[in-house]
Chain A
Amino acid sequence: GAVVSQHPSWVICKSGTSVKIECRSLDFQATTMFWYRQFPKQSLMLMATSNEGSKATYEQGVEKDKFLINHASLTLSTLTVTSAHPEDSSFYICSAPGYNEQFFGPGTRLTVL
């Protein structure tokens, strides 16, 4: 199957700083990628749809100015958590759609102190 990578796999930062997470499709092109967030013992929640060459589409309740998404190429989408706070600590996962499957990245564990 197709491979999606994420970097970093984990990050610890201070409150108020910004953190960038990269999501790459390694062996295929993805015009669309999805960003999910997962809090402990909860399911995945779709945050936004990243579209190559155009603006991202955010789900209701997700602050677009706080979670900046850039999809600059057909193989790379980035999520920047701006002015991170402890409540932003979570597991962030990206995915790219296939024909009858979604290919997930390994996830990024963000801890904000």
Chain B
Amino acid sequence: GQNIDQPTEMTATEGAIVQINCTYQTSGFNGLFWYQQHAGEAPTFLSYNVLDGLEEKGRFSSFLSRSKGYSYLLLKELQMKDSASYLCAVRGGANNLFFGTGTRLTVIP
């Protein structure tokens, strides 16, 4: 079975840094993805980790520890447009994705 947990909601201030955590227990692991999703739209790809460590891409960074079943997404210099849901997803052996509960981030002025 798949069990992927994220906080349901978070609030952060414009210009600040926010870290969204994801813990997982899955029967297979073939990489971990982070997606951003605005209401009523399809998810957009943010990052992919398959090895332990930190992947940095502009204002967004993602970290993975396979031994701990743990990942986080770090968003720096928050902007109002970053208000969205952030989805953690684990890829199984069949290339299918299992999504976490999603974290709704609200950025306030």
Q: Which of A67-75, A76-84, A103-111 contacts B (4 or more CB under 8 A)?
A: A103-111
- Most central of B50, B91, B95, B102 by chain A CB within 10 Å: B95
Number of A-B contacts (CB under 8 A): 54
Bound CA–CA A93/B99 (angstroms):
13
What band does the interface of chain A fall in when counting residues whose beta carbon is under 8 Å from B?
20 to 34
Partner of B94, one of A45, A49, A91, A100: A49
Least Cβ–Cβ distance between A26 and chain B, in angstroms: 14
A44 touches B50 (CB 8 A): no
Q: Is the CB of A102 within 8 A of B33?
A: yes
B46 to chain A, nearest CB (A): 10
Q: Which of A43, A49, A57, A100 contacts B31 (CB 8 A)?
A: A100
B96:A34 contact, CB within 8 angstroms: yes
Query: Residues of B contacting A46 with CB < 8 Å?
Result: 96-99
Q: Name A residues whose Cβ lies closer than 8 Å to a Cβ of B.
A: 1, 32, 34, 36, 41-46, 49, 57, 91, 93, 95, 97, 100-102, 104-107, 109
B interface list, Cβ under 8 A from A:
31, 33, 40-45, 48, 50, 85, 87, 89, 91, 94-102, 104
